[in-house]
Chains A and B, each alone.
Chain A
Amino acid sequence: MTPRSPTSSAPWLLAGPGALFFAGLVLLPLALTVILSFHAYDHSSGIQNTFTLSHYVTVLTDGYYLEIFWRTLRIAALTTIICAAIGVPEAYILSRMRDPWRSVFLLVIIGPLLVSVVVRTFGWSMLLGSQGLVNQALQLLGFAPARILYTETAIVIALVHVMLPFMVIPVWTALQKLDPMVEAAAWTLGASHFTALRRVVMPQVTLGMLSGSLIVFGLSASAFAVPALLGGRRLKMAATLVYDEYLQELNWPLGATIAIIVLVANLCIMLAYNRMIEARARRTLG
């Protein structure tokens, strides 16, 4: 006979505080936002106590909103791809370094996280501005000055800078688990350094890269400070759009609708991506 646990309520009591916290700070505001998004809105009298689907219809049919959604998706995807392209080799080099250099460079990579996003973004706007260092350098070399600030390029550059640690760290963790002799084994079997990386090391860091991409994509798609400061007034992304609807237009229900649509879209993309790649990686890596 299996022994009965002394009190069957113990698991509930233990999980209780966490569950309450989660319910109070995540589920409740989320539910309120969902309800808000169905409220009718009138420009002269504000939020009405009647319910409507009109906000959803507006957002999903108006080209203005769709363009912003499309831009958000494009910028987030581009940031993720660039972060993977830079972060994976960076993590590999880091994992092959010896102490004390490894600790020093790990700090260099994590360092930016210790500085406020707003401060870092202002830094980028000074660098990329029409009289910024980048343009001065271009002119010195005899090129025409480029307009970088207030373009998608500026947003992507700054986002990559902010997001890189979130790609490097999961990949680095995956590499730590890798037996360094596995790579040596590939060499002794006749593989060049490049082939060994491609055929043996890369497939094993897929899972790390996957979690890194999910974090980077999710954070980029909902980034606020970077597009707000580097995109200017016209180049909006989803998060800045929501901000404007709430605080400029005062149309809270429409802002809530956009927020919910972005959340659902983000969730769908990430789940699909996860299923597609993780399922395959799990099958071979176990």
Chain B
Amino acid sequence: MAFLTLEGVSKEFGTFTAVRDVNLTIEKGEFVSLLGPSGCGKTTTLQMIAGLVEPTFGRISLDGRDITREKPNRRGLGVVFQSYALFPHMTVAQNVAFGLEMRRVPSAERTERVREALALVQLSSFADRYPRQLSGGQRQRVAIARALVIAPPVLLLDEPLSNLDAKLREEMQFELRRIQRKVGTTTIMVTHDQAEALSISDRVVVMEEGRMTQVDAPYRLYEQPSNAFISSFVGKTNLLSGTWRRNGASGAVNINGTLLEASAPEIADGAPVTLSIRPEKLLLRETGAGRLEGRIASRFFLGSQWLFTVETALGTITVSAPNQGVEPPAEGAPVSLDWSPANLRIIAGTAAAA
């Protein structure tokens, strides 16, 4: 049964439409990410769920109850803000206890629940510190404890990891997922970082210019992006424009006279299409052994893998290859690119239009 539903939710600020007709159903216990570039309306959507922004149109319901016009202090949702928004004049324990105090939880129970919440985020020994005495990662965990201690039906995270450095961000991703699994709270996270969304969510909602464009499991989103924007926003990809030549059940893409076979049954013959292929799906072979000839223009060593840009008749193509412990072809070396036709994604329309 749907736990949280958004039906036709829109938000207009004057003449500007920030969020347009969002329909979303979230199951109990699910971890859903709203992914998109800045200004796509994802934070506004989250704030409408939290009750901080009132939708212009549409309906939001939680567990069968209409909460569209309910004040944020009556919704009882846990929110972790991008800036963490900790109360600077209160200690960590007082910050966490605030929500319980507002609910008039008896003092003994309050102390116990604060202790449990701080243990959950592994900050038990920091209870008497002030937020300014904590590191970024610790503040973030205080914000999570503060939001979770009130046992909210839904936890809302607004870019929770964007203020952390790269290494800490990776650790906190797993930490966040661990906490969410343990508590089982339905969670919605807003992020512009595709890696973050893919690694910890059950489902990812991609938003572009206020609209939801794809809702899928992370793996399916990566492998079957519904448009050219998603294919380049979620992970790296090579996009090539061409026209579709239908040939029975399968067909080929005609790019400047070169035919590349692929399968895309529902596209009409002669229609403009965009071909997308991920760098890791391409293989470097000796000249003549692959499907497309080229020359290595540049080569970058990234530790676990190599990244090449290859000049071909179809344009510059990015290829990545795992580091096998042997030095790969040098810059300027002629190579041939090979791939499995099943890995070519054909998207209707041109990349420029997306």
CB distance from A86 to the nearest CB of B (A): 24
Residue of A nearest to B150 (CB): A189
Known contacts: A190-B73, A285-B89, A286-B132. The answer to whether A185 contacts B102 by CB under 8 A is: no
Interface segment among B80-88, B191-199, B260-268: the answer is B80-88
Known contacts: A284-B130, A286-B130. The answer to whether A191 contacts B85 by CB under 8 A is: no
Complex Cα distance A188/B82, Å? 14
Residue of B nearest to A284 (CB): B89
Partner of B85, one of A181, A192, A195, A286: A181
A204 within 8 A of B: yes
Complex Cα distance A204/B132, Å? 14
Partner of A189, one of B83, B98, B130: B98
B89 touches A182 (CB 8 A): no
B82 / chain A contacts, CB cutoff of 8 Å: 181
A187 within 8 A of B: yes
B50 within 8 A of A: yes
Which residues of chain B in 106-164 are interfacial with respect to chain A, using CB atoms and an 8 Å cutoff? 130, 132, 146-147, 150
B167 within 8 A of A: no
28 A–B contacts from the bound complex (CB under 8 Å)? A179-B83, A179-B85, A181-B82, A181-B85, A184-B52, A184-B85, A185-B81, A187-B52, A187-B72, A188-B52, A188-B72, A188-B73, A188-B78, A188-B79, A189-B102, A190-B73, A190-B102, A190-B103, A190-B150, A191-B73, A191-B98, A199-B98, A200-B87, A284-B90, A284-B130, A285-B89, A286-B88, A286-B132
CB distance from A204 to the nearest CB of B (A): 6
A250 / chain B contacts, CB cutoff of 8 Å: none
Report whether over half of chain A's contact residues are helix, strand or loop; otherwise say mixed: helix
B: residues with CB less than 8 A from A are 50-52, 71-73, 75-79, 81-83, 85-90, 98-99, 102-103, 130, 132, 146-147, 150
Residue of A nearest to B143 (CB): A185
A182 / chain B contacts, CB cutoff of 8 Å: 85-88
B88 touches A285 (CB 8 A): yes
B86 / chain A contacts, CB cutoff of 8 Å: 182, 185
Report whether over half of chain B's contact residues are helix, strand or loop; otherwise say mixed: loop
A203 / chain B contacts, CB cutoff of 8 Å: 89
Partner of A190, one of B50, B52, B99, B130: B99
Complex Cα distance A203/B94, Å? 14
B88 touches A184 (CB 8 A): no
B81 / chain A contacts, CB cutoff of 8 Å: 181, 184-185
Residue of A nearest to B77 (CB): A188
Complex Cα distance A189/B86, Å? 12
Which residues of chain A in 168-218 are interfacial with respect to chain B, using CB atoms and an 8 Å cutoff? 179, 181-182, 184-192, 195, 199-200, 203-204
A190 touches B85 (CB 8 A): no
Complex Cα distance A187/B51, Å? 9
Complex Cα distance A179/B85, Å? 7
8 nearest CB pairs, A to B: A190-B102, A189-B99, A185-B85, A181-B85, A188-B79, A187-B72, A203-B89, A182-B85
CB distance from A277 to the nearest CB of B (A): 14
CB distance from B184 to the nearest CB of A (A): 20
CB distance from B125 to the nearest CB of A (A): 20
Complex Cα distance A187/B146, Å? 13
CB distance from A175 to the nearest CB of B (A): 14
Residue of B nearest to A183 (CB): B85
B146 touches A189 (CB 8 A): yes
Interface centre among A179, A185, A186 (most CB of B within 10 A): A185
CB distance from B75 to the nearest CB of A (A): 8
B76 / chain A contacts, CB cutoff of 8 Å: 190
A286 / chain B contacts, CB cutoff of 8 Å: 88, 130, 132
CB distance from A6 to the nearest CB of B (A): 39
CB distance from A169 to the nearest CB of B (A): 22
A200 / chain B contacts, CB cutoff of 8 Å: 87
B87 touches A186 (CB 8 A): yes
A187 touches B73 (CB 8 A): yes
Residue of A nearest to B75 (CB): A188
Which residues of chain A in 8-24 are interfacial with respect to chain B, using CB atoms and an 8 Å cutoff? none
Complex Cα distance A284/B133, Å? 11
A195 / chain B contacts, CB cutoff of 8 Å: 102
B99 / chain A contacts, CB cutoff of 8 Å: 189-190
B52 touches A204 (CB 8 A): no
Complex Cα distance A265/B105, Å? 48
A179 / chain B contacts, CB cutoff of 8 Å: 83, 85
